[in-house]
Amino acid sequence: MKRSLINAKIALAKRVLKQLHFTLPPFAYWTMDEWKQKGSCIEMIRRTMLGWDITDFSSGDFERVGAVLFTLRNGDAYDPAIGTPYAEKIIVVQNGQILPLHKHMKKTEDIINRGGGTMLMTLYGSDSSGGVDRESDVQVYCDGELKTYGAGETFEVPVGASVTLTPGIYHLFGARCEGEAMLIGEVSSVNDDNTDNYWAEKRERFSSLEEDEAALCPLCNEYDSFL
């Protein structure tokens, strides 16, 4: 991905968040100079990878497969003394855009429609070898109500509603937006994006970057490079 595209998508996310009256923590709005001035006092932010996260999941087509994410709070999967014992993200998804099919083996998460459109979700179970089970129904709790969906069935999640995903459930979700983009929330157990994403097809969690302009701020996987 080009840095200019990342900068543009951060600006879009801030605009959509303002329209939907969702304000991020102060560090979401720091300049690069402010980041560099913080020194050791932001070690927890660095350790738990809080902050901006823009990725096309190695698709090469961000507008179709990609998302702008921001991690507001998180812990360290290997050190319970660091951060919080839970995680929260906000995800800005454009119309027709998807996050590709994947599962987690440790994380349990609620995926929540925070506003701006209808979330579309597709689920599969895992087969005996850990791959995608394209035959069996999937049972999940939706705001405490047990529901059953067919393998590969796409269903709508309206504003305010959520789906609880337990380890081993493959999931894909996207957006049908009313405006530029919609907000999808994630509240989960501690999140480890370096080791706990298992893709249905070959993907990379973080994108390789082409530096065609200066970065507005570091992404959550770039702190060691910029600070």
Q: What is the pLDDT of residues 152-196, one digit of tens each?
A: 999 999 999 999 999 999 999 999 999 999 999 999 999 999 999
User: Could you tell me which of 181, 136, 182 has the C-alpha nearest to residue 159?
Assistant: 182
Q: Is the pTM of this model over 0.95?
A: yes
CA 44 to chain centre: 19
List of long-range contacts for 223-226, beta carbons under 8 Å, 24+ apart: 223/45, 223/46, 224/46, 226/32, 226/35, 226/36
User: Could you tell me which of 78, 64, 72 has the C-alpha nearest to residue 91?
Assistant: 72
Cα distances from 155 to residues 35, 62, 101, 195, 219, in angstroms, run 41, 23, 15, 28, 32
Question: Is 149 within 8 Å of 137 (Cβ atoms)?
Answer: yes
pLDDT of residue 214: 96
pLDDT of residue 227: 85
What is the three-class DSSP state of 9? helix
CA angle 137, 132, 75 (to 5 degrees): 100
pLDDT of residue 89: 98
Nearest 10 degrees: CA dihedral of 62, 72, 202, 166? -130
Positions in the chain whose pLDDT score sits under 50: none
DSSP state for residue 139 in the 8-state scheme: E
